[in-house]
Structure 1
Amino acid sequence: MEASGNVEPVQLSMKLTVHKDTNKVLFAEVGKDFADVLISFLTLPLGTIARLVAKEGDMGPVKIASLSSLYESVVNLGDEYMFIDTCKEMLLQPRNPMEDYCRRMKLNVDDTEPTKYYVCNNLLDCVLETNVMCSTFKNYDCDCGSYLEKQISRNTFIPLVGFVKNKSCFIVTDDLCVLPMSLDTMVSIVKKMGIEDMSTLKEILVNVTKNQLIDLLKCSLVSKTPLTDVFLRKKPCIQKSDGNIVYVCGDFIDEQCASVNVKIMYQKSDGKILCAQGKDFANFLLSILTFPLGVVVRLLQGNSSVGSVDGLYNSVVHLNEDLFNTKELKAKLVDLGLAPQFKLSNQVLPISEVVAPTYYCVTKSSKSKLTDFYLTEYRSVVDPSTKCKTVVMDDPISENESSKVLLRGPTVFAVTDNLVVSPISSMPLLSLSNNTNINLGDIDVKVVSIGLNEGLSILKASLTSSSALTNGLAHLVTNVKSEDYV
């Protein structure tokens, strides 16, 4: 709910406690509205994050490891390579699974268009059938032969605003851990920093703008001190990558996930992967853009190594459920899934999607003319002129759950080390390396299987390294099947 026109822009207030000697934020005292925004960061799909951090803001655009180049490659990918036109929209404007809660917050950084619902142009005739078809994307075919392009509203009452209860107060550390308000906690933070002289501390009242919140999102992904970076330094203190990344499956060892084969081209001398080839692999990588940030941290078991994100997620996990609007809401946040209908078939990672509610289409007519129509989660008929039919949601990708993909065959797709996805025909050999003196005799091509372990490694590397394939698959380069390179 943001201001527009000549109305003053909405701002959030908070109080910073700063160590004067180091010019560093120790903690912030915040209310519900600011806490809601921080928690909402975890609900943002990676595609949305890539789009937001590329905005100028007050701090300028920020690139996130290989995620930004993956997103840009989708921007540049021709529509003819997508399975259907909608696929590109799903990747560049992915849906937030907690959209209804975020939309009602005082300040919402997510600029994705709200989900719209479309029913048949001939709705009055369709309600005479058993069910009514509906889509969250426009111009799909209705079973009757017409198009789903008549926008319909949802009569859904969501009394909750944001995630935590009204009038709740929190302490937020410099690395974005959200803690219940407590004097003991404040003292503990000061002691942990080795500060004994309280006269070296000062308090600053801050009014936070939407641009600053977007800058805070940027810094949360690259820095361990995002509050200091945004409100004192005015620039991100970028955390350096740890190098090779190997993720151990841990609790996911029994999960039933798909695996895909991919050819990798790499340099034998240093193990640098120049590119990978395979449509199924490219589909998997593109699907990462639909993953909410909280899902990523959960899959990586709170060890994503992405800026301050792990601390934020883990602190939400440990917050008392009584601080949230409902206990069920906290459970949803901790165990997020993809937005409805966004999960691909043969997914490499153990990720679910949020189950959409069952909707009913209520129509009212008079003298064979439609006078009112809306979607509701409750079946009700109040008079003979009203009809209430079960809604069948049309899948934007496929009618068959076993064949949900993003890219069109038979085109062969290649992926560079920094996750640029493109048709192999548009990827010149020399573009695979910054070194134009690359020795072809040093190149080898091998076939590897990308399963759960590799998928998690690449997911982590996509957010922490500009050489995502090299770092994510380094453990496979010396232990895979080799093919002759022609």
Structure 2
Amino acid sequence: MAAAEEVQFCLKVMMMKESNKVLYAEVDNDFADVLLSFLTLPLGTIVRLLIKHYGNKAPIIGSLSSLYAGLLNLDSCHFWTEEGKLMLLNPRNSYGFQCSRLKLQIDDTPPATQCFACENFTCASMYYKMTCLCSTLRNIMTGRELEIEAQSADKSVFTAQTASFLLTDDLQILTNTSTSLLQVLKLNGIGDTSVLEERTLIFGLKEIMELLKRSLVSQTPITDVILSISSAAGTLNKRQKFSASTKYESDALPQTNENVSSDSKKIALKALVQKSTHRVLLAQTRHEFIDFLFSLLIIPLGRVQFLLGKSTCLGSINNLYRSISNWEDVDYMMSKEAVDALLDPQIPPYYLSSYQILSLNQQSSSAVHFRYKRGRYFYTTTPDLGSTPMKMIDPKGHDSFVKGRTMYMVTDDLVVSTPSSAFIISTLNRMKIPVSDVEEQELGIGIEEALSILKASLFSTSALSDGLKPFLMRQQKQEK
């Protein structure tokens, strides 16, 4: 397959002449697959890819960017294994192998198509640098990358290979029919089609990355991308204005999906709160809450949409998600499994902590089997009569990522670090907050609080304050 930098799509785009705004674009199944793959990307992967592509000019995604940076800077000694930290920094896509067939791949995370085995042919891991369990010598399983057999030969990923679609400016995907065309024209008040003109545009890796970025914040991402091609500086200013005009309604709790259970355990959190504003200055907590925060980075966009329902405020991603959920004719999709992978993507094996609050579905771990045939060893996830099962190793090394018996400090924008009294003092001095205006409040973080923090983390750089304010105010009223 060609390198991502070399792949290009030719799009026929219908635009309004006077406003220079995109009405829709005609796209084939290859482009639709790339766009739909956004829903399978974990939040941490999106942050990492944008940093890799844009460097110092990477957009700030709410508090997720600072959460990722804090994870990167947190010493590995606080994790049960070094691999556990790397798993969080480079979360795998549960649909990674299928996405490896995309015509243009933006996610460079290796899919789980290889395993690593010890010298005794007893232990196996889907992650490298692990230590086997069978030997007193603690054999290190490195440098033994072994291909796993049995992969699909299908060329398409999500949509049918010959399907064609109309993609609106706000990322609604419609089947390319006269019914869909009339629907778009009428919804946009187009009575006279002479106001429209067709243009042919080339979309490569640069434009797809720009589309991913814009889809998180804008209701006109395709128009924004086209404008960015002709004026990069102009679009940067437009992006900044959009961010500044976005207001987080912290008093309104997320409208969750009705399928999400509210039966959840509570995790204790002590927060230093400014009494006059209900602003959370920072919080101190144990590893249970830290595991929850880091787990935000492994949640795919499609699962975020599933958890939060209509209240994600994720630009045009809402429309992309609803387009698939509203389709009555699934003939345009590869399979029902492909639809499920977009609407409710799972978490890869070994990623869930025992302290997980949110409702996340984890894929079952595929057992690895080996067999000796014709002088060679073969490793496969599909057992046969001559194969022997191997012990699978949990790369986290424990039932959580972060070690217990340690207190951690979390800032308002979700930077995790070890406690520092000097940092607390400097925070009060920097914000000019008198000690008399500060109090410590203890909260129980359950499903409602967790969903509110998730929502706030998507576009607020004060995720703790915005996510917990309704609960702090509710608790204050109950104490009076």
TM-score (norm 2): 0.89
In the alignment, the residues of structure 2 paired with residue 306 and residue 333 of structure 1 have an alpha-carbon distance, to the nearest angstrom, of: 16
Give yes or no for the alignment of 1:155 onto 2:149: yes
* Amino acid in structure 2 at the alignment position of 1:267: Q
- Other structure's SS at 1:107 match: coil
RMSD, aligned CA: 2.3
Q: Deviation of residue 360 (structure 1)?
A: 2.3
Give yes or no for the alignment of 1:193 onto 2:188: yes
Which position in structure 2 is the counterpart of 1:72?
69
Which position in structure 2 is the counterpart of 1:360?
369
* Amino acid in structure 1 at the alignment position of 2:321: Y
Q: Deviation of residue 172 (structure 1)?
A: 1.0
In the alignment, the residues of structure 1 paired with residue 296 and residue 404 of structure 2 have an alpha-carbon distance, to the nearest angstrom, of: 20
User: How many residues are treated as equivalent by the alignment?
Assistant: 458
Give yes or no for the alignment of 1:117 onto 2:134: no
Q: Deviation of residue 247 (structure 1)?
A: 1.9
Which position in structure 1 is the counterpart of 2:132?
141
Q: Is the 8 A contact 1:57 1:212 kept in 2?
A: no
Structure 1 residues 340 and 302 mapped into 2: Cα distance closer, same or farther (>3 Å)?
A: farther
Over residues 168-225 of structure 1, what are the superposed CA-to-partner deviations in whole Å (9 max), with x where a residue is unaligned? Answer: 1111111111111122222322222223332221111122111211111111111111
- Other structure's SS at 1:118 match: strand
2:345 paired residue among 327, 336, 347: 336
Q: Deviation of residue 300 (structure 1)?
A: 0.6
Unaligned runs of 5+ in 2: 230-234
Q: What is the 5 A alignment of 1:171-320? A: 171-234=166-229, 235=235, 237=239, 238=242, 240-244=246-250, 245-249=252-256, 251=258, 254-279=261-286, 280-319=288-327, 320=329
- Other structure's SS at 2:390 match: strand
Which position in structure 2 is the counterpart of 1:351?
360
In the alignment, the residues of structure 2 paired with residue 241 and residue 112 of structure 1 have an alpha-carbon distance, to the nearest angstrom, of: 34
Determine what percentage of the aligned residue pairs are the same residue. Answer: 34
- Other structure's SS at 1:277 match: strand
Over residues 50-91 of structure 1, what are the superposed CA-to-partner deviations in whole Å (9 max), with x where a residue is unaligned? Answer: 111224459952111111111111111111222221121111
In the alignment, the residues of structure 2 paired with residue 66 and residue 228 of structure 1 have an alpha-carbon distance, to the nearest angstrom, of: 26
Which position in structure 1 is the counterpart of 2:232?
none
Please, which moves more after superposition, 263-272 or 111-120? 111-120
Q: Deviation of residue 310 (structure 1)?
A: 1.0
Give yes or no for the alignment of 1:63 onto 2:60: yes
Which position in structure 1 is the counterpart of 2:382?
377
Unaligned runs of 5+ in 1: 127-131, 382-387
In the alignment, the residues of structure 1 paired with residue 372 and residue 132 of structure 2 have an alpha-carbon distance, to the nearest angstrom, of: 20
Q: Deviation of residue 305 (structure 1)?
A: 0.9
Please, which moves more after superposition, 271-280 or 241-250? 241-250
- Other structure's SS at 1:473 match: helix
Give yes or no for the alignment of 1:392 onto 2:391: yes
TM-score (norm 1): 0.88
Q: Is the 8 A contact 1:47 1:92 kept in 2?
A: yes
Which position in structure 2 is the counterpart of 1:3?
3
Q: Is the 8 A contact 1:133 1:142 kept in 2?
A: no
1:464 paired residue among 459, 462, 470: 459
Over residues 277-331 of structure 1, what are the superposed CA-to-partner deviations in whole Å (9 max), with x where a residue is unaligned? Answer: 1122121111110111111110112431111111111112223322111222222
Q: What is the 5 A alignment of 1:86-125? A: 86-115=83-112, 116-123=114-121
Structure 1 residues 250 and 205 mapped into 2: Cα distance closer, same or farther (>3 Å)?
A: closer
Q: Deviation of residue 269 (structure 1)?
A: 0.8
Over residues 388-418 of structure 1, what are the superposed CA-to-partner deviations in whole Å (9 max), with x where a residue is unaligned? Answer: 112332111145xxxx212223221111111
- Other structure's SS at 2:207 match: helix
Which position in structure 2 is the counterpart of 1:30?
27
